[in-house]
Each structure stands twice: as structure tokens, then as C-alpha cells.
Amino acid sequence: MLLSLIGKQMKMLLRNKQPLIILLVMPVVLITILSTALASVMNSEEEAAIQAKLVLIDESSWEQEEASIESFLKEGGVNGPALEALLQVFKSNDPIYILEESILDTKDISKYIAKENRQSTELDNLRKDKEIAGILVIPADFRFNYIKSAYFDEQETPDMDLFLSQENGIRASIIQSVLEEWQSGFTKSLALTKAGIPADGVMQNEQAVERIEQVLQGSERKIPASIYYTVGMLVMFALYIPTFLAGFALQEVQWKVYDRILLAGVPATLYAFSIFITGMIIALMQQVIILLYGKFVLGIDWIGLEGMTLIALSFSLFIGGLSALLTTLQLRTKSEGVANIFSGLVVSIFAFLGGSFFNIGDVSSLLANIGSFTPNGATMSAILAIQKGQLLEVIWSYMFTLYGWFVICILLSIVLFPKRGVTS
Amino acid sequence: MKGIWLARLQNLKRKPLVLISMTVMTVIFAYVLSGGVGSSVTLLVATDDTDMSNKALERLQHIDDYSITVLTEAELQEVMKEKRDKIGLQLYEKTYSVLADTESDIVRMLSLEVVTIYNELSFQEQIVTNAGESKWEEVENSMVEEPSFLLEKSSMDESQVFRYDGALQSLFGFMLYFVFYTISINVQFILEDKRTGIWNRLKLASISRFQLYFGHLSFSYLIGLIQMLLVIFLFRFIIGTNMYGGFWKVVVISSVYVLLVMAFSLFIISLVKTVSQSSVIISLLAVAFAMIGGAYWPLEIVQSEGLLAMKWISPIYYGMEALKRVTIYGETLGGVFSYISMMILLAILLIVIGITLLEKRTERYHSSE
């Protein structure tokens, strides 16, 4: 009897196209979109994660300004070899020279910023270019003015224009912070000179701090976007299964199919139990299909088979329990209201809190903590822990949450299920 | 028409629960999110107890953006194993390491901040050892007063101001995403009325089609608008979000957005048969629209051209872009005119298509009866 009830449920699901589309096609489409769209953001091993395009417009050059600097020095009474030496020092300390040769050219920075030199006549067009994140315009007599102001205190502080693109806000702020660091380096050495401290000694001994990449132990690995979103969508879309099963049950009540089943001598509890089992089987099938899609289409290497099996089975149990509970509530209230609120709002909020759309901890620690108590959030954390290559023991706390929900669902279904039949 | 309003009001009075719970939910969510958006990120920090790393930690503790928990190295390793949503930071004498699953914006900002702190500390230390405390003060003053040269920053687009405000971006994003649900629920009454036959009875009465639709839709619009304004006012006046003087512009754009969402829900309802179908489809579409419209993350980080091209079909994109432009970018309403008119155009188009489809469907119902 149980088997034929389960068979009936499965057939109802298969004959309706809408549930199949939502349970299988939607997650697969979303996984593909998300993992390709955000791959560059989440996969830190990819070199040019976010590369900003900086255009440098230099309205003159050292060669062009050298003559005026030289005559300025001669006026000040510097001549012969001293003049040559001084010019050499100025040239090697030229801010623009330093920027181009020893800042933007280094490996660390060129990973984030791509530099391009253009002519000042193009400025108006460049400002409209959506690809460019920032434009630095160095005025024609900048070097000369800089030398006058920095070394001889004769000129007002020279300035240059930096245009930043609002549409590329993140990239532009990278450029901004690099250029500010460059500017503050020169300000520092100027301040040292004015205080009479030899700048070379301080600046060279200054230690640059180095970032060490996170050390991964033995079998550990990082989670790329493809795994993250496959898991995120997997736990989210399983939550739609109970809505459909509960919807069918209500339909059966409205069409008097339910009454006929009861008349045929099937106990009401067996009917509820069949929904529980069906929910479980469908959840398991859905998870297997999505995981296989990840493996064969996205090329994900799933590790920790026994952990994954354990989590998938537990999560399916929970989905079964939730199906039973939603059905019970639908039969009790005799309206679609409960399943509506569940599928419309609860699923989205749970998915949101559980981190299916993005890592919620980046936005708010409080929400992330709430999210880890949702069944889908706990399951997601458990799967990600296993996929990171951690031991089975890490997932017990998550499993505890999941089984807590399971027990609540089952208990409520048992208590609330209408045993005397339902009239529509 | 007055009658329709009264009927809807009565209905609301008898079953206020769904509306109230939806509104409360949106407000709570908005509040919690804004707390998360505006305030601090929890950082777990471990140091190797050298002078340098302790000083760096002290400086980090002064930055309001982070709330810091200090752990030992072993504890940190242990916690990071279990939690996937925390950010860990290890500070050593000459190096540091950020422990996070993903290289997010926050991680990048944090790295920059740590590097700056270390650089400043080491610079200060060098001067103090070379020349003594008093010189350091002199240097510090002259660094503030006499910069070597100035970087004059401005926006590439002359009509904008350059500002980077990730917090406001996510706040608008989540707001638009959540009100998508709450507003669309107000439109589902049509399906309900059709099922119970009230719709046909109203049509038989001496009410013109225009009055019927206009009465219902205007009421739904008003309810949606009140919900949306509630959220905006909460942000502006209770939480005190800085909208860069664009508050009234935000209200204007939001009222157009409510219209667009309502039109969109009407369109969906004209395609489906039951309330449960419409709520599943709307919830899925809201997620998809939020993703491609840039509500969850700024669109500039999306690299796939195909996905970027899809932003034009997302109602959330228009709302998002217009809201960002009038606040963060400092543009005028005239500057976002194209977005607003696009929203109104789409709304009218969807309402017309939706009503036409609904009418056709009704005719078919009649002929089959």
C-alpha cells in the first residue's frame, strides 16, 4: 500500500512540468550563471582578479623639462660637475619616473593595475570610455615646479589631476589607494629632509610588510565559486520540494481523492508517511543529479564520499519531515496560505541567511550566525567543511542543528495531523 | 471605484496578518542588514606577541569598521576550521596573513589597511631610533602641512562626484530585493478574486473595466508605496543613513520602482493559474533579477559579457542604477531621467500586456462554462 502511494506521488510530480523545471532546471541554470559570473571574484588563484585600467597622460617628459631645470639651477649658481650630479639625483627621484618604473611595473601592482600612456588631446574621449577606471594627468611643467617646491621652497605645491570612474568604483578605489601611497611616500621623504634626517637611511631600512598566503594543511583546499554555488543552490532548491508535495495533497483534498483513499481503508497516518518518504526520495534524487551535474559539467572534484553521503541522507530526511509538516499544515488550514508564505518568503530568507546567494558573513556577522541555525545553512556549512578537506568530526555541530529541525518537523506533524479526515 | 477601495480595505481589516507580517519582516530585515552594512566586521586576530604586531593590533582596534576578538594562534586555527563566515587575521613581526575562504572586497580592504598600518609603524620606529621622539613630532606635522604634491581627485564624468560607498550600494540592493516580494503579494488578490468568482460578479455589476482595474491597482500601489516609504524613512530618520542629500530623489525613484514591480507582478499573474504558482515564480525571478541587476554585488565585478547584457531585463537594475546615481554619484533627477522613463515605460507596457492577457483568459473561462 505504501509503495503504491509513493508511486502515485512520484507520478504526480513527473507529470507536472512546472515542479521539474523549478526543482532541476532552475538550480542548474543558476549554478552555471553564478559560478561563471563570479569565478573571478572568488577564485583567488586567478591572476587578474579585478584589473583596473589606468591611463597616464604626461604632458611633458624629463627631457623636455631638463633645459628649464638646468637654467634654473645655473641661475642659482650651480655649475659644472655639481650641476650634472644634481640633475642626476633629481632625475632618479622624479615622482613620475618612480611611479612608472618602480611602482606600476612591479609584479604585485601590475596584477591589479594595467597602465597605458596616452596623449592629452585624447582626454575628452578617454573620460567617456567605460573601460577606463582612472586617468592621471600630469601637467606640462610639473617636474620643474616639483623641484622648485620640494628642494628650493620656491613654488606653491604643484598638483596633478586624477580622474576616477564612478561606474568602476572598486577598480577606481584600488588606483586611488595606490596613488595615494605613492604620494605619501614623497611627502614622507620631504618631511624627513625638512627635519634634517637623512631620508635614505630611514626609507631604506623601512621594512615592507609581506602578506603570506594562508597556509593550507595537508588535504585542505580552497572553495572555488563553482563548488560554493553548486552547494548553495542544492540546499536552496531542495526546500521547494515540500511546497509541491503539500500542494498536491491539498489538491487531492479538494478533488475528494483524499476521501476516497481513506474510504479504501488506508489509514490517514500512512498517507502522511508516504509523503514523508516521497519527499525524502525526491530530495535525494535531486541532490544526486545536481552533484553529478557539478562533477561532469563544471568539473568539480567532490571529496569525502562518506561525509557527503551522510549529509545528503540527513538533509533528505529533513526535507521528508518538512514535506509532512507542510502537508499537515495545509490540510489543517485548508488553504494554500502556508505553502505560499513558505515558498515565497521563507525559502528566500533561509537561502539568503544560509549563504546560498553569497557569503553572508561579509555583510553581517549577526545574520551569518542566525543563518547557521537554518537547516539549509547548517547543511551548506557541513558540505563546504567536507569539501575543504576537513575531518568528519567538524560537521557534528551542523548535523545536530539539522536533526533538531527534523525532530521538530516530525513532532509537529504527528501532533497536528488531522486524523479524522478532511472535508474540503 | 470607491466601493472597490472599501472592499479591499475591509478585506485588509479582516485578514491583516499577511500584510503586517510581510511589512514587519521587511523592516526587521532592513534594520538588521543596515546594522551589518554600516557597522563593523568581526575580525578574529592572533599576534605572535612581538612589539610590532601588538602595536599594529592596537591601531586596528581603533578603527571603527572592525570589531576585534583577540585569540591565540592555535585557537584561531581551530575556530577558522569550523566557521566559514569569519575573517581571521594573523599578525607577525614582518608578515601577516588573512584567513578567509574567499578573496572578497573586505579582505582586500583589510589587507590594504594592514599594510598601511605596518608601513606607518615602521616609518615611525625608524625615525624614533635614528633621531629621537621630538623629531618624530616635527616630521608628523610637516607631513600634514606640507605635502610633496597634490592629487586633485574628480570624477571622470563631469556631472558626477567620485565616491565609493559599498555600504549604500548593498543597502539599496537588499531593499529593492525585499520589497519585490512584499509588493507583488499585494497584486495576488486578482487570482483569489477570480477563483472565488467575485471578479465576474463585479464585472456584471455596473462598473467599467477601467474602474475595476484602476480601483484595484491603485489600492495595491498605495499599499506597496507605504511599505517602501516605511523602509526608506526608517533608514533615513531612525538609523540615520547618509544619502548624500538625495533623500527626496530616492523617494521619487522608489515610487516609480513600486509601480514597475506592481506592473511586473500583474504580468506574472496573467500568465499563471494559481496563487502558489505565482509566488514560486515571483520568488525565483526576484532572486534572478537581484543577481543580474546588481543588488547583491556591484555589477563591475561580473566579467561575463552575456550576464552583463542581461541586466537590461531586470527591473531591479533600473531602480538600483537610478538610486545609486542620485545619491552616491551625486547626480540630479534629470541625469537619471532615462532610467526613470524606462521604468515608467516598462510599467505601462507590462500593465497593458497583463490586463490584455487577463481579459483573454476570462473570455475563455466564460466560453468553457
- What's the first-to-final CA gap in chain B, in angstroms? 28
Q: What is the pLDDT of residue B40?
A: 58
Rounded to 5°, the CA angle A72-A74-A79 comes to 145
Cell numbers that stand for B84 in this block? 566559514
Q: What is the pLDDT of residue A136?
A: 92
Same domain, A158 and A238: no
Same domain, A15 and A101: no
Candidates A54, A57, A183; CA nearest to B150 is A183
pLDDT, tens only, A24-51:
888 888 888 777 777 666 655 544 456 7
pLDDT, tens only, A214-242:
666 666 777 887 888 899 999 999 998 99
Of A150, A194, A208, the CB nearest to B142: A194
pLDDT, tens only, A398-424:
999 999 999 999 999 999 888 766 665
Give the orientation angle of helix A268-296 with respect to helix A2-15, to 10 degrees: 50
Asked if residue A126 is part of any domain, the answer here is: yes
Asked if residue A315 is part of any domain, the answer here is: yes
Q: What is the pLDDT of residue A255?
A: 85
- Side chain identity at A79, as an amino acid letter? N
pLDDT, tens only, A100-138:
888 888 877 787 888 888 888 888 888 888 888 899 999
Q: Which residues pair with A369 in a beta bridge?
A: none
Asked if residue A219 is part of any domain, the answer here is: no
Q: Out of A71-85, A100-114, A291-305, B26-40, give the one with best mean pLDDT.
A: A291-305
What share of chain A has pLDDT > 90, as a percent? 23
Asked if residue A214 is part of any domain, the answer here is: no
Q: Which of B14, B19, B84, B93 to mutate to test the interface with A (most CBs of A within 10 A)?
A: B84
Q: What is the pLDDT of residue A421?
A: 60
What share of chain A has pLDDT > 70, as a percent? 91
pLDDT-flagged residues of chain B (< 70):
30, 32-41, 82-85, 101-105, 276, 362-369
Same domain, A232 and A369: yes
Q: Look at A85-99, A356-370, B316-330 and tell me which has the smallest mean pLDDT.
A: A356-370
What CATH code is carried by the domain that includes residue A194? 3.40.1710
Same domain, A232 and A290: yes
Q: What is the pLDDT of residue B369?
A: 37
pLDDT, tens only, B210-255:
888 888 899 989 988 988 898 888 888 887 778 888 899 999 999 9
State phi, psi for B365 to the nearest 5 degrees.
-55, -45
Q: What is the pLDDT of residue A310?
A: 94
Q: What is the pLDDT of residue A217?
A: 62
Q: What is the pLDDT of residue A408?
A: 95
Q: What is the pLDDT of residue A1?
A: 81
Same domain, A358 and A261: yes
For B:216-275, CB contacts with A below 8 A are 274-275
Residue ranges, comma separated, of all CATH 3.40.190 domains in chain B are 41-143
Task: Give residues with Cβ within 8 angstroms of B122, minimum separation 6.
Answer: A206, A207, A209, B52
Asked if residue A93 is part of any domain, the answer here is: yes
Domain of A345, in residue numbers: 2-43+226-416
Q: How far is CA B3 from the centre of its chain?
A: 37
Q: Using an 8 Å Cβ cutoff, are B265 and B183 in contact?
A: yes
Q: What is the pLDDT of residue B35?
A: 56
Q: What is the pLDDT of residue B62?
A: 83
**Contact check, Cβ <8 Å, B81/A215:** no
Task: Give residues with Cβ within 8 angstroms of A52, minimum separation 6.
Answer: A112, A113, A114, A133, A134, A168, A171, A172, A174, A175
Taking CA–CA distances from A338, the nearest residue in chain B reads B276
Same domain, A23 and A64: no
pLDDT, tens only, A347-362:
888 888 888 887 777 6
Q: How many domains does chain A have?
A: 2
Going from the C-alpha of B62 to that of each of B59, B118, B141, the distances in angstroms are 5, 14, 21
Same domain, A173 and A318: no
Sign of the alpha-carbon dihedral angle for A335, A336, A337, A342 = positive
Q: How far is CA A405 from the centre of its chain?
A: 28
Q: What is the pLDDT of residue A423?
A: 60
Same domain, A30 and A87: no
Give the closest-approach CA distance of A371 to chain B in angstroms: 10
Q: What is the pLDDT of residue B105?
A: 65
Q: What is the pLDDT of residue B344?
A: 96
d(CA A4, CA A406) in angstroms, rounded, equals 25
Of B142, B147, B276, the CB nearest to A247: B276
- What's the first-to-final CA gap in chain A, in angstroms? 24
Same domain, A72 and A153: yes
Same domain, A13 and A61: no
Give the closest-approach CA distance of A423 to chain B in angstroms: 18
Same domain, A116 and A29: no
d(CA A147, CA A91) in angstroms, rounded, equals 10
Of A33, A157, A348, the CB nearest to B150: A157
pTM over 0.90: no
Asked if residue A218 is part of any domain, the answer here is: no
Give the closest-approach CA distance of B344 to chain A in angstroms: 24
Q: What is the pLDDT of residue B43?
A: 81
Chain B interface includes A162 (CB < 8 A): yes
Candidates B281, B87, B32; CA nearest to A371 is B32
Q: What is the pLDDT of residue B252?
A: 94
**Long-range Cβ contacts of A181-184 (<8 Å, 24+ apart):** A181/B116, A182/A95, A182/A98, A182/A99, A182/A103, A183/B147, A183/B148, A183/B149, A183/B151, A184/B143
Size of interface A-B (CB pairs under 8 A): 292
Helix H or strand E segment including A53: strand A52-58
Top CATH class of B41-143 equals alpha beta
Task: Give residues with Cβ within 8 angstroms of B175, minimum separation 6.
Answer: B30, B231, B232, B235
Q: Using an 8 Å Cβ cutoff, are A111 and A124 in contact?
A: no
